[in-house]
Amino acid sequence: MTAGTPLSDERIVDALGADLRAAGYTTDGVAGLLGEDANEALGRGVWWPAMHSTRTAETDRTALATIVRLFLLGSDESVSAVTQAFPTAGPDVLTAHGVLESVDGHLRAALDIRPHADDVGEYLVVSDQDAVMRSGPVDREHVLGIGGASVSLARAVIRSPVRRALDIGTGCGIQALHLDAHSDEIVATDTNPRALSLAAATARLNGMHWDLRAGSLFEPVAGERFDLIVSNPPFVVGAGAQDYIYRDSGMVGDSLCADLIRALPDHLEPGGTAQILANWIVPTESDWRDRVRGWLAGTDLDAWVVQRELADPISYISLWLSDAGESADAAADRGAQWLDWFADQGVAGIGMGLMTLRRKESGDRGRDPDQVIEEIVGAGEEVTGPEAQAFLARRHYLRSRSDSDLLGVRLATSPVFLEEQSLPGEDGWQHLAATVRRPGGPGAVLGVDEVSRALLAGCRGQVPLGALIELLAGFHGVDPDALAQAAMPVVREAIGRGILFEAS
């Protein structure tokens, strides 16, 4: 890794971008060069089929093959091959500006530059190479590239158009990159000057303009407000050391995330939204939800907090030790100290998840905040932007309608599956329970009995809910008012989970 701030000259960034584009260095271009099988293998971390594909590439793809080997496969390349691949920028300039480095007469990538795509477009992302690509531990100022956490946050962000957006702890600029399509103005901050330099290169390579500022949390934007705030901060829970800037905040425990959440109301416009990846301590003697509620106390923010993973201390520490590429002895020493600190603090585990928060509108200040804190760990139940937006809209819908209002509404049931659980017994299958599940909806599952199952089946958007309940009451020989009172909590939960909706 090259120390300092590489690619600080915009002319060099432009020349580099011109060469990468000319070679066809995009996700589709790489996939076409490697072939389906080798490309999928590379996505799983198996590199040798991709290397073989680049070595046998057709002549008109020689430049692209060289670029792929440099930046995606970590290969050493001849000066002549690099000269051919970068006719505009040239290998000498790229080496001088920290993109490449010379090793035994060959050239090697000193940065990670890779294509990235979403539903909107194709991008190039500049970061440092991870420990898999280079021997030895990463530097303290290491700038993390595209990873599982950054991609999950990008997928979870609500993409409604906004005037001002803030990306706290931007790193190489992944979140700002995705914000660009629906934000008039983007402010991105980081404490690491190297990160800001690489984020600037990412922005320029993609023809974007971000207001990049140095500083911690909200210090660079004191007194300013935003319509959308996103953050994948250095949330790793530990004793407060700052061994690696990309993961360690220098603050004890989970206090960085707590401080970030508590400061949000001062920086969100009325109706503004924040979406934060966070880690929180799960104490030995209490519920993790209580800890997160403590962060939210006094903020007056509506919130949907989803814990996606719960890691025991050894698994959590191992995850982050493997990320840094330290030697076995160094990792063992650091891990032992970390584990001792967890034991001293009574840490049973670390929760990891997404916090979606919204500041109330100006005319909505009098009510109590609406806060849902839950665990959703099922595969295929990840929070996405559309689901987060729909969840907040459904919560608003429920707050604005009384039970009497809902009884007068025609409701319809979303496409759902009815799942039944039974056990074999002496008289055949013995029914235990039944649930209704909306595929793809985070936590969109509802336990049902015979009556509520019939109610959901009857919600076809044709008659008001109250009339449907009267029909069911008559069929089962019960009082309609009593049935309505018993049914409304189920109806509200079904609406909140997107299982029922108001028919148009």
Q: What is the mean pLDDT of each run of 10 residues along the chain (504 residues)?
A: 72 97 97 96 93 91 96 96 97 96 95 94 94 77 91 97 98 97 98 96 98 97 98 90 79 93 97 97 92 96 97 92 82 92 94 97 87 95 97 97 97 96 91 94 94 95 96 93 96 98 94
Look at residue 116 and tell me if it is in a domain.
no
Which positions ≥6 away from 386 have C-beta within 8 Å?
none
Domain extent for 78: 10-110
Look at residue 131 and tell me if it is in a domain.
no
Whether residues 333 and 463 share a domain: the answer is no
Whether residues 258 and 300 share a domain: the answer is yes
Say if CB 388 and CB 306 are below 8 A apart.
Answer: no
Q: Count the domains in the chain.
A: 3
Q: What is the CA radius of gyration of the chain?
A: 27
Whether residues 321 and 213 share a domain: the answer is yes
DSSP assignment letter at 386? H
Whether residues 235 and 253 share a domain: the answer is yes
Q: Of the candidates 350, 375, 393, which is a domain's last residue?
A: 393
Core vs surface per residue 136-150: b (16+ CB within 10 A) or e = ebbeebbbbbbeeeb
Q: Of the candidates 364, 393, 422, which is a domain's last residue?
A: 393
Distance (Å, whole) CA 65 – CA 56: 9
Whether residues 153 and 281 share a domain: the answer is yes
Say if CB 109 and CB 70 are below 8 A apart.
Answer: yes
Whether residues 359 and 421 share a domain: the answer is no
Distance (Å, whole) CA 486 – CA 493: 12
Q: Of the candidates 91, 110, 129, which is a domain's last residue?
A: 110
Distance (Å, whole) CA 339 – CA 162: 43
Say if CB 390 and CB 440 are below 8 A apart.
Answer: no
- Quickly list DSSP for 110-179: SSEEEEEE-SS-EEEEEE---TTTSSSPPPTT----S-HHHHHHHHHS----EEEEEEET-TTTHHHHHH
Look at residue 311 and tell me if it is in a domain.
yes
Distance (Å, whole) CA 123 – CA 151: 14
Distance (Å, whole) CA 158 – CA 148: 18
pLDDT for 1: 40
Whether residues 177 and 103 share a domain: the answer is no
Three-state DSSP state, 335: helix
Whether residues 275 and 370 share a domain: the answer is yes
Whether residues 227 and 167 share a domain: the answer is yes
Distance (Å, whole) CA 63 – CA 19: 9
Residues β-bridged to residue 162: 183
Whether residues 274 and 197 share a domain: the answer is yes
Q: How far is CA 376 from CA 18, 279, 294, 417, 469, in A?
A: 44, 15, 20, 18, 31
Whether residues 84 and 180 share a domain: the answer is no
Q: Which amino acid is at 485?
A: Q
- Quickly list DSSP for 19-57: HHHHHT-SHHHHHHHH-HHHHHHHHTT--HHHHHHHHT-
**Each residue of 390-449: pLDDT tens digit?**
999 999 999 999 999 999 999 999 999 999 999 998 889 998 999 999 999 999 999 999
Say if CB 33 and CB 65 are below 8 A apart.
Answer: yes
